[in-house]
Amino acid sequence: MLAALQNEIALQKSYLNGESIETIYFGGGTPSLLKAEEIDLLINTITRYHTVSSNSEITLEANPDDLDEQKVKALKQTAINRFSIGIQSFYDDDLLWMNRAHRSREAEASVKRVQDAGFENITADLIYGYPLLTDHKWKHNLEQIFALDIPHVSAYSMTVEPQTALASFIKKKVYAPMNEAQSAEQFMVLMNEMQSHGYEQYEISNYCTPGNYSRHNSNYWKGVKYLGIGPSAHSFNGEARQWNIANNSKYTQSLALNKVPAEREDLSEADRLNEYIMTSLRTVWGLDLDKLNAISKSASEQLTKEAEEHFDQGWIQQKDNIITLTNAGKLYADKIASDLFF
């Protein structure tokens, strides 16, 4: 797999047209299983074929149980300068229900271990809106985040993907189904608690203390080009999207033949308008009507007309040429975006 990843990096060297890389993100599966020297190998391969900014943000997604003292010490010697730790919950019964390998004690210890090693740029993942999570437990999870002084949080409502064990258990009534009202209530609690502790909600699911935006995620929401490497990885160059095959074996076999196993979709004008609407509306920076017109002349006039209903409901607001969601509107972000699609 490492050889295939290196080969794809080389074969994709022209994808970004020589533009400088500002962020590198090791994510997707469980990249914290990689050894420090393997991470170095991949970073060195990237720098061999691409120009990487000297102050680039380099993130490693990690499970708490992978971040033992020896691993953290080794990672300190690499170019990794940001951790995304999949905490999800500080309750053992919840973690067992989610089929997570770690326990709450490991989650707390992993954060402190990374901080003690000198890493300050940390984000934690949390999940809400599932049957076991009472409002009391949810507030406790947030209090733990604040107590640990974690500067960035990504919090997501539990979703049930088809053909998963969770979907099967719910269908068989072994587990209770998700409750939309519970999810909405806990989302409101999340927004209020984050604001009261000095965190900015700069994207619907992402919160940070001043200056601690995720540069990688922010670039994605702002429509910056990116290159994805590995099975299932997606890429975007401003005009088209491409995605690699999901099967690991077929991926490595294809790369052994020096062929990137990817499908491509050229984006129409409507596609580019809709993608900009979907991503920009989720952020604190909002939807810029001038940028909309840069994709298609007079697009802003049509969108503003379609948006009248949502202005009247108090779901969106406009200042100068920027449209943003209100707190009430954030509960309906996907609906609002789809209503405004071209």
For the stretch 306-322, pLDDT in tens is 999 999 999 999 999 99
Pair 122, 195 in one domain: yes
pLDDT for the residue numbered 305: 93
The helix (H) or strand (E) run that includes residue 261 is none
Pair 273, 181 in one domain: no
Pair 290, 251 in one domain: no
| Residues written for the chain | 342
Distance CA 293, CA 81 (A): 38
Residue 6, domain member (yes or no): no
For the stretch 97-106, pLDDT in tens is 988 999 999 9
| Its pTM surpasses 0.75 | yes
**Structural domain for 44, as ranges:** 20-221
Residue 190 has pLDDT above 80, yes or no: yes
CA distances from 41 to 19, 36, 46, 245, 275 (A): 22, 9, 9, 23, 34
Residue 165 has pLDDT above 90, yes or no: no
Query: In the chain, how long is the greatest CA-to-CA distance?
Result: 58
Pair 75, 115 in one domain: yes
Pair 138, 286 in one domain: no
Pair 256, 308 in one domain: no
pLDDT for the residue numbered 178: 76
Pair 129, 260 in one domain: no
pLDDT for the residue numbered 29: 77
Which residue type is seen at 298? S
Residue 159 has pLDDT above 90, yes or no: no
Pair 78, 175 in one domain: yes
Residue 205, domain member (yes or no): yes
Pair 158, 59 in one domain: yes
Pair 155, 201 in one domain: yes
Residue 227, domain member (yes or no): no
Residue 3, domain member (yes or no): no
Residue 4, domain member (yes or no): no
pLDDT for the residue numbered 177: 80
For the chain, how many structural domains are there in total? 3
Bridge partners, 60 (sequence order): 26, 83
Last residue of one domain, picked from the residues 164, 197, 221: 221
pLDDT for the residue numbered 298: 87
